[in-house]
A and B are shown apart, each in its own frame.
Chain A
Amino acid sequence: MSVDVAALSTNGHTSYIDFQGKHKGVLGWLLSTDHKRIGILYLIAILTFFAVGVTIGFFMRLELIAPGKTIMNPQTYNSLFTLHGVIMIFLFVIPGIPAIFGNFFLPILIGAKDVAFPRLNLFSWYLYIFGALLAVLSILLPGGPADTGWTFYIPYSVRTGTNVLLALFAAFVLGFSSILTGLNFVTTVHRLRAPGMGWFKMPLSVWSLYATAWVQILATPIIGITLLLVVIERVFGVGLFDPALGGDPVLYQHLFWIYSHPAVYIMILPAMGVVSEIIPVFAQRTIFGYKFIAYSSIAIALFGSLVWAHHMFTAGMSNTGQFIFSLLTMIVAIPSAIKVFNWTATLYKGSIWVTPPLLYVLAFIFLFSIGGLTGIMQGVLSIDIHVHDTSFIVAHFHYVMFGGTGFGIFAAFHYWFPKMFGRMYNIKTAKAAFWFLFIGFNLLYFPMFIMGWLGMPRRYYDYLPEYQPFHLISTVGSWILIVGLIIMFANLIYALKKGKVTAEKNPWGGETLEWKVDTPPIHENFHTIPIVTERPYEYKNNDLILNQEVK
């Protein structure tokens, strides 16, 4: 083995947190190519923007507590929903799990020392920060923040006087960061698996990160060129989307959704991976239907790339087109359902240990099912015409993206926290925070289904008095949710400083490789690269129990 012998002797047993590399102090983090340190850098940056996004959402809900102008004028409201969308989507949900937990755990899960291109990995973090700064600049500079919605629909995005250019450029740069992360992960999975780790011995979160990475690589360039074309339209007025010059604005929508629909799978797939990882550990049994879950990740990535026009059923499309996209939308529900059935089948007759990570995962399954099923409703043409551009849609995607991915991220935090930092949080507080989040979430978003069904349009800062009871419940829900978030993060941050120090390698009894390395992991993860001989999630004790049951 050609391990750096000098590093082994001096740093062989220090954790990645205490590891002393070429640079000292803060620079040791900002210039580190260690995938774990980069994961932490992402963690800090992404959570900062999550806090900003939540704050904006809070003010939007506050405005909607009563009809008419409450705390802001319509222009401010337009800017806020744009910022909320851009920040939450491009800076929080899309990078979320891959950039934080993918970076930190993907190499460990496959038995590697780092990702395939460590320097590129650091570079993509800097791209993320650069993109984020551009987004912040677009808020601060004169001209005012963009007010187009995160979709930047033509023609308004060409005509509005706000800082759309900066926001577009920010999304473009963030896209690049996402592409490079995807490229890195695909190569890592292909090239750096430990000896003996065949494709079907990979943990399921690796499968989902792998599928996600392909979508990142293949879909993101389309949004890149699309946003670039809007920039070109704004600067040169070429007219590619301007009907007066022969262009077609609906084509913009096609190009936008060719990326942005697959992007929702970039957001949800990694969370599904986290769920597949956590359920067998706390049901203390082998995952049910490993291959089905693995293949369904690929199927979701594949079919999810072919359904984009279901966002545009009201924008003008041939009946054939509508029929095909509606059908494909139904089909993409099948692999998602396969996952949900396999997860619940794994729980069945497991010895369930209710811990904070499992609570978040159970909430994921519940909320994602609601979000997913209402998604199928919108795939039905007749219903979609009725609910298009209503708060029904807003409720649907918050159930999937926040109830799904958001809770997936929280689950990942609580699951991997002791491994990442070598400290344990307070379990009781974490459970209390969970209930605040779960109840607050449903109070916040479920009324949106009802009022959307009754006709409440999305993106309106004002509404008819009939809708007020729903808006009131929703706004109160947002307060409960925020209390939950504060308790949860306070608990985790407190644990960082004062939590019980634990060097235990495997506090939850997991069977994947990250639970076999030191807590917190050492600089290059493994003292010796493991040789993998069995599949993940082999719970032998549980097999014993099952065999006894059979007898």
Chain B
Amino acid sequence: MSSHEHAASLVHRDDVGARMGMWLFLFTELLLFGGMFLLYSVYRFTNQAEFHLAAKELNTVIGTFNTIILLTSSLTMALSIAAIQKNNVNLSIFFQLVTVLLGLAFMVNKYFEWTAKFHHGIYPGSEELLVKSPGEILFFGLYYVMTGLHGLHVLIGMVIILFMTSFTIKGVITRDSYVKLESAGLYWHLVDIIWIFLFPLFYLIT
């Protein structure tokens, strides 16, 4: 380690360290979802026909639409960081807010998708679901748990970005010190990438 890097740590600011901490945290998030991906793989393997049948019930159009929304939001998130690097504070704030709005749009879609399922009587413990085969019950169980936990992460991500926006307005996040915004961005990309896996697993593989 060069002495210059160490000197940076003495003033209690270490951007490389902060980023490293964030990456480590992202590992833990990946493993948190990893436990459920493991469950999914095992149950998919043991209930192939039923999973095939159940996946047809999901609305691929809404899923695709949501994928596009989240991918775009990752772009706007990256753009907001690029903007702050060029010292364009207002543009950065704009892109952060667009990211939050896209996250909101995702959640609204998710809301309609879930309530539509509820109207069809498909929710854990419902009579309609219980008459289905065990494989289908598992599929919808996993669907609700995994997309539910992912949705929770989207919500948390939105709140974090809003905090970042207020930091940017207050001038805490600047061209010279934007590691907070960068970390929030990393988190948002993680939320995005988990969806990239959830989407084919539930909607596309039928």
Contact = CB atoms under 8 A, between A and B. Distances in A.
Report if A and B associate in a common complex. Answer: yes
Contact of A222 (B6, B7, B25, B35): B35
A246 B43 contact: yes
Interface in B23-40: 24-25, 27-36, 38-39
B20 A187 contact: yes
Contacts of B20: 186-187, 190-191
Contacts, number: 121
A2 B10 contact: yes
Contact of B42 (A179, A228, A238, A248): A248
Interface residues of A, number: 45
A321 interface: no
Interface string A89-130: 000000000000000000000001100110010000000000
B27 A217 contact: yes
B135 A179 contact: no
A381 interface: no
A240 B138 contact: yes
17 contacts: A1-B10, A3-B10, A120-B21, A183-B21, A192-B6, A192-B17, A195-B3, A217-B24, A218-B31, A220-B28, A221-B28, A222-B31, A236-B125, A240-B141, A240-B145, A245-B130, A255-B39
Which of A2, A191, A193, A258 has the most CB atoms of chain B within a 10 A radius of its CB?
Answer: A191
A193 B42 contact: no
Contact of B21 (A117, A218, A529): A117
Nearest to A192: B9
A258 B32 CA distance: 12
A116 B17 contact: yes
Contacts of A225: 32-36
Contacts of B149: 228
Nearest to B29: A221
Which of B9, B16, B30, B34 has the most CB atoms of chain A within a 10 A radius of its CB?
Answer: B9
A269 B201 CA distance: 38
A237 B28 contact: no
B21 A116 contact: yes
B9 A191 contact: yes
Nearest to B10: A2
Contacts of A184: 21
Interface string A195-207: 1000000000000
Contacts of B134: 245-247
The 4 closest A-B pairs by CB, nearest first: A246-B134, A225-B35, A221-B31, A238-B141
Contacts of B21: 116-117, 120, 183-184, 187
A226 B141 CA distance: 15
A225 B146 CA distance: 11
B47 interface: yes
A183 B29 CA distance: 13
A453 to B, nearest CB: 35
A85 interface: no
Consensus secondary structure, chain B interface: helix
Contacts of A224: 32
Question: What size tier do the contact residues of chain B reach?
Answer: 35 or more
Given A179-B28, A221-B31, A238-B124, A255 B38 contact: yes
Interface in B134-190: 134-135, 137-138, 141-142, 144-145, 149
B141 A245 contact: yes
Given A195-B6, A239-B138, A232 B145 contact: yes
Interface of A: 1-3, 112-113, 116-117, 120, 179, 182-184, 186-187, 190-195, 217-222, 224-226, 228-229, 232, 236-240, 245-248, 251, 255, 258, 529
Given A238-B141, A240-B142, A251-B42, A218 B27 contact: yes
A1 B7 contact: yes
B17 A191 contact: yes
A447 to B, nearest CB: 39
A439 B142 CA distance: 52
B25 A183 contact: yes
A443 to B, nearest CB: 41
Contacts of A240: 39, 138, 141-142, 145
A509 to B, nearest CB: 29
Contact of B124 (A179, A182, A236): A236
B1 interface: yes
B11 interface: yes
A53 B41 CA distance: 39
A2 B32 contact: no
A217 B32 CA distance: 11
B10 A190 contact: no
B145 A255 contact: no
Given A187-B20, A191-B17, A192-B6, 19 more contacts: A2-B7, A112-B9, A116-B14, A186-B20, A187-B21, A192-B17, A195-B1, A195-B3, A221-B32, A221-B34, A229-B36, A232-B145, A237-B124, A238-B125, A238-B145, A239-B138, A246-B138, A247-B141, A248-B42
B171 to A, nearest CB: 20
A239 B134 CA distance: 9
Nearest to A33: B12
Contacts of A229: 35-36, 39, 145
A186 B34 CA distance: 21
B47 A246 contact: yes
B1 A247 contact: no
A106 to B, nearest CB: 15
A194 B3 CA distance: 9
B62 to A, nearest CB: 22
Interface in B61-108: none
Nearest to A180: B25
A269 B123 CA distance: 45
A229 B137 CA distance: 16
Contact of B34 (A187, A222, A236): A222
Nearest to A225: B35
Contacts of B25: 183
A112 B7 CA distance: 11
Contacts of A117: 17, 21
Given A1-B10, A251-B39, A239 B28 contact: no
A505 to B, nearest CB: 23
B38 A246 contact: no
A218 B29 CA distance: 9
A183 B24 contact: yes
Contact of A238 (B10, B14, B33, B144): B144
B176 to A, nearest CB: 16
Contacts of B137: 239, 245-246
A92 B37 CA distance: 31
